[in-house]
Amino acid sequence: MSAKTVLKFFDKRDLECSICLQRFTDPKALNCLHIYCLNCLQDLMRRHGKIRCPKCHETYDLKDGDLKHLKCNETISYLVEYVEKIESEKPEACSRCANQPQDYCSECEMYMCRQCIQQHKMFPTLENHSLYTLDTDIEDQSGDSLNCQNHPDKKLEDYCRTCKLPACEDCKHIVRCYMNQHKVIPVKTALDEINQMVTETMKTAEGIKRKLKERLDVITKERSEFESNLKLSRTAIEIHEKTIIRKVKEETKIMMANLTQIYKEQSKVIDRQVKSIESKLTQVNTLMESIKKTMNKPTETENLASYQTTITVVENDAAADELDKSFAKTRITPKFIPSPKLVELMNHEGVGKLITVGGIYKVNKEDENISVTKGQPFSVRISSLAEIDVGQLTATLSNSLGEKSASEVTHRKGEYTVTGRCDLEGDWHMDINDGDMSHVIGSPVSIKVEPLGLVNTIENISEYK
């Protein structure tokens, strides 16, 4: 189907992004088939950390890099290019007269004013042609607004507030307005009123624009400060890690050196004891050899007596109980005992604590996906990373049909608990947010509500046999 034919079924607003209210640029389609500019989706991701369709509120867990890979709507892109080509080639005058063109006929490929378009529609063969209303500048509109569309050579004189229609002296409908006592005013008054309303509305819009820009500047500055503090925190954590590792290595090196010193000292003591015992063994062995030689020799009585004296001395010096006692005194058994306080500190506090000045909240990992039966109460735990938590969390529990269920939020010592129950089966989700629009990591929470009965027990049925 050609762009000329398709354009017949499109309104100009169909080619505008509902986020920026401008004509689409690089249109991307979400799974819900709603279309937005790529830049608008990226801006949503930067501001909220996730994509939630502004029209149907469907939430998508996408990363910034995933947005570029979303399906591009080629039909919309082609129509935007076609319309921009028509607008860019718009002449200053109508193709048939000198009036300003206000419409474009795709079939005749002609730019025409409102009067020529009316004549164009009078021909049966042309009345179904695709017409595109051109963008007209406000300045151009103000010049033509005093000319009657039905009688271009006549100036507008009156305006019926009841019918919301202007009229010149040849317009017959204004006579009926007077007869029906409609509120008719001079067209000049109507123009002054609408211009005043436009001026006031534009003033309000400018004020909103200025406030939004100021807020955007503040957010941009806060984001820059956040990224700077993030970098400083990352550096501080790395330095702290290196400091702890270096300190542990230094302490380990000292303990290993002490252990080596203990080994050397103890080795000297043991070597000295072994040498002493081996010396005595040699002495005893020598005496035993000499004593054996006196066997059957009465003449060796004196020598035997000398040997006996020496044996007694050695016996007294090498008494078993004294040797054991002496060795026990000098025996050292090295044993490493870890610092219980350090282990306990690491288990409870780790190497440090990460805190934030603003409110950042995190859903407990085990509570991000919950499966319960219909009517069964459940709870979701959320921890605060803020140094001083002054936020107030709220939770909304709803399903895909838009039905909602009550939930309650309690707070105690930096941890929030959201309790709720669902009386309808199906998929539910819990949106958790803070009044300051602080990001809640892990929200929305997915909740699957099963029918009443035996749920998730079949795989463990053998335990009950």
The 10 Å Cβ neighbour count of residue 165 is 15
Burial class for 166, CB neighbours closer than 10 Å (0-12, 13-18, 19+): buried
Segment of 97-101, 299-303, 315-319, 422-426 carrying the highest mean pLDDT: 422-426
- Say what the pLDDT of residue 150 is: 77
What CA–CA distance (Å, rounded) separates 430 from 444? Answer: 5
- pLDDT interval class at 342 (50, 70, 90): confident
Q: What contacts 215, CB < 8 A, 6 or more positions away? A: none
The pLDDT tens digits of the residues spanning 198-255 come to 889 989 998 998 999 898 888 888 888 888 888 888 888 899 889 889 998 998 899 8
Kindly write down the DSSP assignment for every residue of 149-172, as one continuous string: SSSTTSB--EEETTTTEEE-TT-S
3-state secondary structure 212-235: HHHHHHHHHHHHHHHHHHHHHHHH
Q: With contact defined as beta carbons under 8 Å apart, do 99 and 93 qualify?
A: yes
What CA–CA distance (Å, rounded) separates 27 from 16? Answer: 10
Q: Please report which residue ranges of 89-180 form alpha helices under DSSP H.
A: 114-121, 138-144, 173-179
What CA–CA distance (Å, rounded) separates 2 from 111? Answer: 19
The pLDDT tens digits of the residues spanning 167-182 come to 887 887 888 888 888 9
pTM of the model: 0.40
Q: With contact defined as beta carbons under 8 Å apart, do 386 and 400 qualify?
A: no
Mean pLDDT score, 11-28 = 83
For residues 8 and 334, which has the higher predicted lDDT (pLDDT)? Answer: 334
The 10 Å Cβ neighbour count of residue 288 is 11
Q: With contact defined as beta carbons under 8 Å apart, do 278 and 270 qualify?
A: no
What CA–CA distance (Å, rounded) separates 35 from 17? Answer: 7
Q: With contact defined as beta carbons under 8 Å apart, do 380 and 365 qualify?
A: no
Q: What is the token pair recorded at 368?
A: 């991000």
Determine the 3-state secondary structure of 447 from DSSP.
strand
Residue type, 2: S
Determine the 3-state secondary structure of 117 from DSSP.
helix
Alpha-carbon 70 to chain mean position: 19
Q: What is the token pair recorded at 231?
A: 């970098």
- Map tokens 């890979």 to a residue: 69
**DSSP3 helix / strand / coil % (the chain, rounded to 5):** 45, 20, 35
- Say what the pLDDT of residue 305 is: 86
The pLDDT tens digits of the residues spanning 310-331 come to 888 878 876 654 545 554 555 5
- Say what the pLDDT of residue 165 is: 87
- Map tokens 């078993």 to a residue: 320
Determine the 3-state secondary structure of 27 from DSSP.
strand
The 10 Å Cβ neighbour count of residue 184 is 19
Mean pLDDT score, 355-381 = 82
**What's the sign of the alpha-carbon dihedral 246, 247, 251, 257?**
positive
What CA–CA distance (Å, rounded) separates 129 from 109? Answer: 10
Mean pLDDT score, 389-402 = 79
For residues 205 and 350, which has the higher predicted lDDT (pLDDT)? Answer: 205
What CA–CA distance (Å, rounded) separates 140 from 145? Answer: 9
Counting Cα atoms < 13 Å in the Cβ hemisphere of 334 gives 14
Determine the 3-state secondary structure of 173 from DSSP.
helix
Q: With contact defined as beta carbons under 8 Å apart, do 15 and 27 qualify?
A: no
Q: What is the token pair recorded at 346?
A: 């690491």
Angular region, 27: left φ>0, alpha ψ -120 to 50, beta rest: beta
What CA–CA distance (Å, rounded) separates 100 from 111? Answer: 9
- Crossing angle of helices 301-317 and 187-293, in 10° steps, is 160
Residue type, 259: L
- Say what the pLDDT of residue 458 is: 45
